[in-house]
Structure 1
Amino acid sequence: MRLVFMGTPVFALPSLEALLRAGHDIALVITKPDRPRGRGGKLAPPPVKEWAERHGLPCLQPGSLKDSSVLTALSQVEPEVIVVVAYGKILPPEVLKLPPRGCINLHASLLPKYRGAAPIQHALLAGEKMTGVTTMLMDEGMDTGDILLQEPLAIGEEESFGSLQDRLARLGAELLVRTLKLWERGEIHPRPQDHTQATYAPPLQSKDEIIRWEEPAERIKNLVRALDPAPGARTSYQGKLLKIWRVRALSGPFGGVPGEILGVDPSGIVVRAGQGAVLVQELQLANGKRLRVAEFLRGHPVTPGVVLGELK
C-alpha cells in the first residue's frame, strides 16, 4: 500500500522498519524539526529522520502541518493511507481528509485508557499490571478515533519505562502491519471507543519527577520505574541532587519520618516512606555516574538518620 509515515522518536522506528519490510511503498516520511541537543546545543535530527535518510526515504520536517506546502507535498505523493506513530503533533482536518483510506494511528495503550502523550509512563505510575497497543482511525480529537485492532501486554513487576517502551514498540509494529493488511482487504470493522471510560496521560512535568517520601512505598517504586532511563526520579541528599534509579518496596512497620535513611549496607539503602519503606538499589549524585549501592558507597558514605528531601 502507498503510504505516508509520520513519526518522531525511537518508539516509531520498529513500525517504520516493519512497514518497509512488509513491502509497503513509503512515499514520504514526515517528522518534527531538528532540535538542540547536548551541552553545546547543536541541532540534532530526530531518530525517524536519521533512519529515513539511511534508507533513502524522502523526509519532510515542517514546523507546522497547517503550512500549505505540507498539503501540497502530501497531495503530490497521493498516499492511500497516512500512518502516524508518536509524531507529536495534532493533524489538521485537511490532512485527516486527504488519504482515501484515512489516517491510522498506533497508540501505546489499550484505548480509551491513557489518551495523550505519555501513556506508558502513566500506566507505570498507576501500577497497572496490563497495558497494550491500539491501532485506530484518526479523527479531530486527541486519541478519540474508532478502534481498529488491539493487543494486550503484561507489565513486569520490576519493569521500567525503557524496557516496556521497547516491548510495546515491537508489539505495535506487528499490530500495525496486521492492521494495514486487514484494512486494505476490508476485513476490519472500526468500533467506537467508550468515551465514558477514557483516562488521560498528559506529558510529565519537572515537578512530577520529585520523590515525595510521604507517599506509599509502592507509589515511589512506580515513579522510579516510570522515569527510568530518563529523566530519573529525584530527591536531595544533604542539599545535593540525588537521582534514584532502582528501588524495591518494603512492607511492615518502620520507625523514623518519611525520607529518613534507616539503614545502609551494600545491598541497599532503606528509606522510610509514608507507608512502608523503599530499598534503594541504584542511584546517582549530580555530575556522577549511575551506580549500584555497593559501588556508590565506596566513594560516598551515607549516614543513617539523614532525611532525604526536595531539592530547593
Structure 2
Amino acid sequence: MRLVFAGTPAPAVPSLRALIESPRHDVVAVVTRPDAPAGRGRRLVRSPVGQLADEHGIEVLTPRRPGDEDFLARLTELAPDACPVVAYGALLPESALAVPAHGWINLHFSLLPAWRGAAPVQAAVRAGDEITGATTFRIVRDLDAGPVFGTVTEPVKPTDTAGELLDRLSLSGAALLVSTLDGIEDGTVRAVPQPADGVTYAPKVTVEDARITFGFPATAVDRHVRSVTPEPGAWAQFRGQRIKLGPMMPAEGEYTDLEPGEVRVERRRVLVGTATSALVLGEVQAQGKKRMSATDWARGSRIEQGERLT
C-alpha cells in the first residue's frame, strides 16, 4: 500500500522503520511535528521520526496544524491508501481524515478501551496493571474511540518504569501495525467497535503531576515514581530545593518509625518513610548536580535526623 506515516517521538521510530523495510508497503511521506528547540543552544532539531525519514530520503511534512490548506493539498496529491499514526502529537481534523481511502490507522499503547489519551503507559504502571498492550484502530473524531483492528498484549513487570515498558511496546506494536496494514490490504481484517464498558482515560502527565506524595502507601509511591520515569521525572523538595528521584526499592517487611518523607541514612542505604513501610532510595539528582546514588547524595548533604523529603 501507498502510505503517509504520521509520528514524532522515539517510540514511533520502530513502526516507521518496520514499514520502510516492509516489501508490501511504500512510505511516500512522513508527517511529524515541526522542528523544536533543544539543548543549551536551543537550536532547532528534527523529531526522531523526521530524522529517520531524512536518512531514507523520504519527504517530510511539518505542518503547524494538520488542517492547514497547504498540508491538505499536498496530502491529497500524495494520494495515500492509508495513513498509519504513532504518537503524532496533534489532533487530526475531518478534512485530513477523509483523504486516505482506508483512513488513518493509529497504534495506541494500551488495550483499548482502557487508557485512552496521551499517557497510557504511565497510567498502566501507576495503576499497577499486570497486563497491558497495544491496539491498532481507525481514527475517528472522538478521542481513541475508533473501531479496533487488532491487539497485542505485554506483561507489566514489577520493576518496570514507563520508559522500559514503552520500549517493549514500541517493538511489539510495530509488528502489530505492519500486520494490520497487511490485513487491510488483503481484506482479511476488519475493524470492530470498542466495548462500551471499561473505558478509562490517561491524560498527559505534567511536571507537577510527577511530584511525589510520601503520605501515600509505599506501593503507591513506588508505582508513581516508576510511572514518571524517565519523563517527566519524579521529584520532591529537600531543604527548599527540588530534587529528582529515580525508582525506589521496598524495604521488605520493615515497618519503621519513619514519618512520611522522613529520611534515615544507614551505612549502605538511605530510607524514606511513607504511609506504610519505608522505601530504599535509588538515584538522586539535586539541582545543578549529576545523578548519583542515594548514599553519595546523603553523604554529601550531611542529612540530619528528622529531615524530610516533601
TM-score range, shorter chain: over 0.9
Residue type at the aligned position of 2:12: A
SS across alignment from 1:174: helix
Deviation at 1:213, TM superposition (A): 0.8
SS across alignment from 1:26: strand
Give, in whole Å, the separation in 1 of the partners of 2:47 and 2:40. Answer: 17
Deviation at 1:196, TM superposition (A): 2.8
Deviation at 1:97, TM superposition (A): 1.5
Match of 1:212 in 2: 213
Match of 2:55 in 1: 54
Match of 2:231 in 1: 230
SS across alignment from 2:193: coil
- The alignment's C-alpha RMSD in Å is 1.4
Is the deviation greater in 37-46 or in 219-228? 37-46
Contact 1:36–1:44 under 8 Å retained in 2: yes
Give, in whole Å, the separation in 2 of the partners of 1:130 and 1:216. Answer: 22
Describe how 1:15-94 pairs up with structure 2 within 5 A: 15-23=15-23, 24-94=25-95
Contact 2:258–2:278 under 8 Å retained in 1: no
Is the deviation greater in 34-43 or in 59-68? 34-43
Match of 1:7 in 2: 7
Is the deviation greater in 294-303 or in 163-172? 294-303
Is the deviation greater in 223-232 or in 158-167? 223-232
Sequence identity (%): 37
Contact 1:150–1:175 under 8 Å retained in 2: yes
Against the structure 1 CA distance between its residues 215 and 205, is the aligned structure 2 distance closer, same or farther, given a 3 Å change threshold?
same
Describe how 1:155-170 pairs up with structure 2 within 5 A: 155-170=156-171
Contact 1:264–1:304 under 8 Å retained in 2: no
1:54-84 Cα shifts (integer Å, max 9, x gaps): 1100001000111111111111111100111
Against the structure 1 CA distance between its residues 156 and 259, is the aligned structure 2 distance closer, same or farther, given a 3 Å change threshold?
same
Match of 2:261 in 1: 259
Bigger strand share? 1
Under a length normalisation based on structure 2, what TM-score does the superposition of the two structures give? 0.95
Residue type at the aligned position of 2:306: G
Give, in whole Å, the separation in 1 of the partners of 2:175 and 2:137. Answer: 14
SS across alignment from 1:104: strand
Contact 1:246–1:283 under 8 Å retained in 2: no
Against the structure 1 CA distance between its residues 51 and 201, is the aligned structure 2 distance closer, same or farther, given a 3 Å change threshold?
same
Contact 2:110–2:120 under 8 Å retained in 1: yes
Contact 1:264–1:302 under 8 Å retained in 2: no
Is the deviation greater in 256-265 or in 224-233? 256-265
Contact 2:265–2:298 under 8 Å retained in 1: no
Give, in whole Å, the separation in 2 of the partners of 1:132 and 1:265. Answer: 41
> Any stretches of 5+ residues in structure 1 without a counterpart?
none
Give, in whole Å, the separation in 1 of the partners of 2:305 and 2:164. Answer: 33
Give, in whole Å, the separation in 1 of the partners of 2:266 and 2:218. Answer: 17
Contact 1:8–1:86 under 8 Å retained in 2: yes
1:131-183 Cα shifts (integer Å, max 9, x gaps): 10000011111100001000000011111122111101001101011111111
Contact 1:113–1:200 under 8 Å retained in 2: yes
Give, in whole Å, the separation in 2 of the partners of 1:287 and 1:170. Answer: 35
Under a length normalisation based on structure 1, what TM-score does the superposition of the two structures give? 0.95
Is 1:306–2:283 an aligned residue pair? Answer: no
Contact 2:205–2:232 under 8 Å retained in 1: no
Give, in whole Å, the separation in 1 of the partners of 2:267 and 2:127. Answer: 30
Deviation at 1:252, TM superposition (A): 4.6
Give, in whole Å, the separation in 1 of the partners of 2:201 and 2:75. Answer: 31
Deviation at 1:283, TM superposition (A): 1.3
Describe how 1:138-153 pairs up with structure 2 within 5 A: 138-153=139-154
Give, in whole Å, the separation in 2 of the partners of 1:65 and 1:237. Answer: 44
Is the deviation greater in 155-164 or in 229-238? 229-238
Structure 1 outlier segments of 4+, above 6 Å = none
Describe how 1:101-140 pairs up with structure 2 within 5 A: 101-140=102-141
Residue type at the aligned position of 2:304: T
Give, in whole Å, the separation in 2 of the partners of 1:33 and 1:269. Answer: 44
Is the deviation greater in 98-107 or in 284-293? 284-293
